[in-house]
Structure 1
Amino acid sequence: MVIVDHNNAALKLVDTVSYVVSTTLRLTSKPRDVTVLSKLDAIAVTLTEECKIQFFSTRYYNTFDELTSLYVDGKCECIDFLNGKLYVSFLFTSPSRIDVMTLDGVVVKRLTRDQQGAPLLTWPDYLTVHEDYIFITNYWNNTVLKISPEGETVKTYVDSELRWPRGVTSTGDGHILICSRHTNNVHLMTTECEKVGVVLGPRDGLVGPWSVCYCPKSQTIYVSSYSRKDNSNNYLQVYRFK
C-alpha cells in the first residue's frame, strides 16, 4: 500500500502483511494525495505547493522510480484515476473546481459552476470516481456531493453524524466510505447517497479520521487520522469487515 506522509514530505510503501514501512522516498515538497494508475504499475501524487502532479513507477519491488510530471493551473489538492482520466480537485481557485484531464495533462473537462451559474463547490476536498460519477466531500458544508459527468450535482449526502467530511473512497461494489473528522467516525453510503450506517466510530479508536482506503480482496479498511492529539497522528488504523 502506498501512502503520502504530508508533514514529512515523503512517499511511503507499507507492507500490508507485516504492517511495516518498507520504502520511504523524500519528495521536493509536501504531498497532498495519491492515486493508483490501474494496470499501469504507476501512481500519481499531488504536490500542491508546486502546482504539480508527479508520476512514479511501482513496477519493481519496494522502489519508487520517478517518471514524468505535470504542471497544472493552480494548487492541485486531491486526485483519483479512472478509465485513463485523472480527476483533480482545486480548492484555492476562484471558483473552486474539479479538472478532468488526460495523463499528458490535457484538460478535457473543467467543472466549476452548475447550470444556474452558481459555484459548484464551496470547499472541495477528497474525491473518488465510480462509473464516471464523482463523489467529493464538501468540507465546510458537511456534505458529500455526487456530480454527474456533465457537472451537475445529482445527489447530496447529508447526515447529523457527518461533520467536516474528509477522505472518501469507493468500495467498488456500489458503496462509498466517508471520513467524518469532527464526529470521529466513518460512514458507509450507497452510490445513490443513501446512508447504510456508521461503520466505525470512537469506540473503535477513531480520533479525527482524515483519509480512508479500502481493499476489496481482503475486505480491509485503512484509516489515517489528524487531530491535536499527537498520539492520533502517526499511524494507520486497520479494520476488517466480517
Structure 2
Amino acid sequence: MISEWLKCAVGLGGDKLYITIANKNTLLTLSIDGTVMSTFTDPQLRSPRGLHVTHSGQVLVCGWRSSTVIQVNAEGNTKIATLVTQKHGMKYPLSVSCKKNDTIIVGQWQNSNMLLFEVK
C-alpha cells in the first residue's frame, strides 16, 4: 500500500513539501513546482513515517524502525537534534505534532498511549 510508505507535510510558507519515504529511509524536500531541493538520510531515521512542521519551520520526523523522533532544519538537509529515543519509552512512532509551547506529542504503533515531551 503506497500510503504506508509515503507521508507529507507542507512548509510554513507553502513553498516546500516534505515527504518521508519509509522504504528508502529518506526525508525528501521538494519545491512547490516539484524540484528536489534536498534528500536527507540519517542512521537514526530508519523507516520514517510521521512528520510535522513546527511553528518555527523546522521538521520533526518519526523514525519508525529506529524508534526515534528527530528534528531537521527547514531546508530538510541537516539534523538539528535527536529529540526522543527508546530510552524515553518510545517504540515505533507513527505520528508527531508540536504545540507552540514546545510540547511534542507522539503517537505510537499498536499503543493507545500518546507520549508528551517538553523540548527546552
Matched, 1:128 2:9: yes
AA at the equivalent of 2:57: G
Q: Bigger relative contact order, structure 1 or 2, given CA contacts below 8 A and separation 6+?
A: 2
Following TM superposition, the consecutive aligned residue runs of length 4 or more in structure 1 with deviations greater than 3 angstroms are: none
Matched, 1:238 2:119: no
The root-mean-square deviation of aligned C-alpha atoms, in Å, is 1.5
Deviation at 1:191, TM superposition (A): 1.3
Counterparts of 1:36-115 in structure 2, within 5 Å, are 91=2
Structure 1 distance, partners of 2:20, 2:85, is 19
Structure with max Cα Rg: 1
**Structure 2 unaligned regions, length at least 5:** none
Paired positions, count = 116
AA at the equivalent of 2:83: V
The one of 156, 166, 170 aligned to 2:49: 166
Structure 2 distance, partners of 1:195, 1:175, is 10
The one of 200, 219, 227 aligned to 2:84: 200
Structure 2 distance, partners of 1:174, 1:235, is 27
TM-score scaled by length of structure 1: 0.46
Structure 1 distance, partners of 2:87, 2:107, is 16
Matched, 1:145 2:28: yes
AA at the equivalent of 2:10: V
Write out per-residue CA displacement over residues 76-129 of structure 1, whole angstroms, 9 at most, x where no aligned residue.
xxxxxxxxxxxxxx937xxxxxxxxxxxxxxxxxxxxxxxxxxxxxx42x2111
Matched, 1:215 2:99: yes
Counterparts of 1:181-200 in structure 2, within 5 Å, are 181-192=64-75, 193-200=77-84
Counterparts of 1:9-20 in structure 2, within 5 Å, are none
Structure 2 distance, partners of 1:146, 1:201, is 24
Structure 1 distance, partners of 2:29, 2:96, is 18
Provide the identity percentage: 28
AA at the equivalent of 1:170: V
AA at the equivalent of 1:172: H
- 3-state SS of the aligned residue for 2:45? coil
Structure 1 distance, partners of 2:35, 2:24, is 17
Structure 2 distance, partners of 1:214, 1:191, is 15
Deviation at 1:174, TM superposition (A): 2.6
TM-score scaled by length of structure 2: 0.90
Structure 2 distance, partners of 1:222, 1:166, is 15
**Structure 1 unaligned regions, length at least 5:** 1-89, 93-122, 228-232
